[in-house]
Chain A
């Protein structure tokens, strides 16, 4: 038997997340009845589903919030990442539960080994640091910390926040990249800002200006969509590497839109230094070793807009860029964080 929580329940309205003039959705009522039975993952998924509607069912969201509080310390980090973006009443407690995991991830992101002796002039990380990091990622089973968790990590990484003019250009470029058909307003928002975690169409846009010692400056912009490999760029040995995710481990994170952009940029720096750099004309067989000084002297700025929160592999790719190009200012905008309806708190 179903219990009706809000008086009249219209049996013809099955899923009406924000309520309905003739009564709330039948499924909302059923969810209310069975909330205590929900496993943490189901609770997070359901919270996301109901918090994503334009008109919110406050009663149900409050009930979900209470249930989350009951189970808070049973909820695994991946679900905490989803819940932190659902903006429930217990948001502060969810953030408290998620923060230690995000903090530890940021702290364990490997740093370059010192002193750098890598023969190519590029820095590298030592195996022990990398193992500690990958073990942690595997242990916490997170492939994406969600918008709030990712914000915390990006802050710990001390990445820049690009200016609004850049965001505006990024939106235009991504809409153009994603425009395979006439887009309605809702679809335009969908292209620009997805919701957290595993995604379908994700876009990234980058603008860069890099001054390389003894070389022509590299300057430009590009957009990429995840899952679509750039046919003009297929490196056998990219300088930055993706990370295997503990969830959906068979997904090739090298196809993430922002990873493709970062990998191509770093490899372009490598190629330019090889061909034009201070030692380029002295090398044998056209392959001159770069010096650490060359790499450390690359200066400039890279700004990236990603339409949804970067996964753990792409956070690692950003960290690799930070230490491969230490004099380059790196900025990241998360489209999900600034544009997604849930996170904008629309009523």
Chain B
């Protein structure tokens, strides 16, 4: 998982909205909450937010909520509102998007 996260981080600027939401969805589904990756996805997503369709938005919202991640203005790691976790495996079960990517 760490290797995949590293590869995603390295290629972040090449990812389209579907790729970004799908990457967040995949890691969240596996309860892999890596703050650096989520922060990078959030930053990359901001640049393309208008291109996100409703499914991309729903899946990204679900992924970030599942990972208890809230992006920060100051670039801090992890979120205050939902208590970001650092490289931790989440043990908090969450509802899953019904539709697949």
* Chain B residues in 8 Å Cβ range of A200: 31, 90-91, 93-94
Q: Say whether B3 faces chain A, with CB atoms less than 8 Å apart.
A: no
8 Å CB interface, A16-47 against B:
16-18, 20, 22, 25-27, 30-31, 34-35, 37-39, 41-46
Dominant secondary structure of chain A at its interface with chain B: loop
Please state if A46 and B61 are interface contacts (CB–CB under 8 Å): yes
Residue from B60, B92, B94 within 8 A of A15 (CB atoms): B60
Docked CA distance A54–B68 (Å): 11
- CB closest chain-B residue, reference A57: B81
Docked CA distance A12–B65 (Å): 18
Q: Say whether A187 faces chain B, with CB atoms less than 8 Å apart.
A: yes
Please state if A191 and B91 are interface contacts (CB–CB under 8 Å): yes
Please state if A30 and B57 are interface contacts (CB–CB under 8 Å): yes
* Chain A residues in 8 Å Cβ range of B46: 11-12, 14, 26
- CB closest chain-B residue, reference A22: B73
Docked CA distance A14–B73 (Å): 8
1/0 contact string of B68-101 vs chain A (CB within 8 Å): 1111110100010111000010111111111100
Distance of A39 from chain B, by nearest CB (Å): 7
* Interface contact tally, CB-CB below 8 A: 156
Q: Say whether B26 faces chain A, with CB atoms less than 8 Å apart.
A: no
Distance of B67 from chain A, by nearest CB (Å): 10
Dominant secondary structure of chain B at its interface with chain A: loop
* Chain A residues in 8 Å Cβ range of B83: 186
Distance of B44 from chain A, by nearest CB (Å): 9
Q: Say whether A89 faces chain B, with CB atoms less than 8 Å apart.
A: no
Docked CA distance A34–B98 (Å): 19
Known contacts: A12-B46, A27-B49, A186-B68. The answer to whether A196 contacts B95 by CB under 8 A is yes
Distance of B24 from chain A, by nearest CB (Å): 10
Please state if B91 and A190 are interface contacts (CB–CB under 8 Å): yes
Q: Say whether B27 faces chain A, with CB atoms less than 8 Å apart.
A: no
Distance of A139 from chain B, by nearest CB (Å): 16
Please state if A17 and B98 are interface contacts (CB–CB under 8 Å): no
* Chain B residues in 8 Å Cβ range of A10: 73
1/0 contact string of A41-73 vs chain B (CB within 8 Å): 111111011101111000000000000000000
Docked CA distance A260–B81 (Å): 36
Q: Say whether A266 faces chain B, with CB atoms less than 8 Å apart.
A: no
Distance of A203 from chain B, by nearest CB (Å): 10
Q: Say whether B11 faces chain A, with CB atoms less than 8 Å apart.
A: no
Known contacts: A14-B42, A48-B65. The answer to whether A34 contacts B54 by CB under 8 A is yes
Please state if B53 and A34 are interface contacts (CB–CB under 8 Å): yes
1/0 contact string of A194-211 vs chain B (CB within 8 Å): 111111111000000000
* Chain B residues in 8 Å Cβ range of A39: 54-55, 99
* Chain A residues in 8 Å Cβ range of B54: 34-35, 37-39, 42
* Chain B residues in 8 Å Cβ range of A199: 93-94
Please state if A195 and B93 are interface contacts (CB–CB under 8 Å): yes
* Chain B residues in 8 Å Cβ range of A197: 95-96
- CB closest chain-B residue, reference A16: B70
* Chain A residues in 8 Å Cβ range of B94: 48, 52, 194-195, 199-200
- Which chain A residues have a beta carbon within 8 Å of chain B's beta carbons? 1-2, 10-18, 20, 22, 25-27, 30-31, 34-35, 37-39, 41-46, 48-50, 52-55, 78-79, 82, 178, 183, 186-187, 189-191, 194-202, 247, 307-308
- Which chain B residues have a beta carbon within 8 Å of chain A's beta carbons? 31, 42-43, 45-46, 49-50, 52-55, 57-62, 64-65, 68-73, 75, 79, 81-83, 88, 90-99
Q: 4 smallest A-B Cβ distances: which pairs?
A: A190-B92, A199-B93, A194-B93, A42-B58
Enumerate 9 A-B pairs (CB-CB under 8 Å) in ascending A order. A14-B42, A17-B65, A30-B49, A35-B54, A37-B54, A45-B59, A46-B57, A52-B65, A202-B93
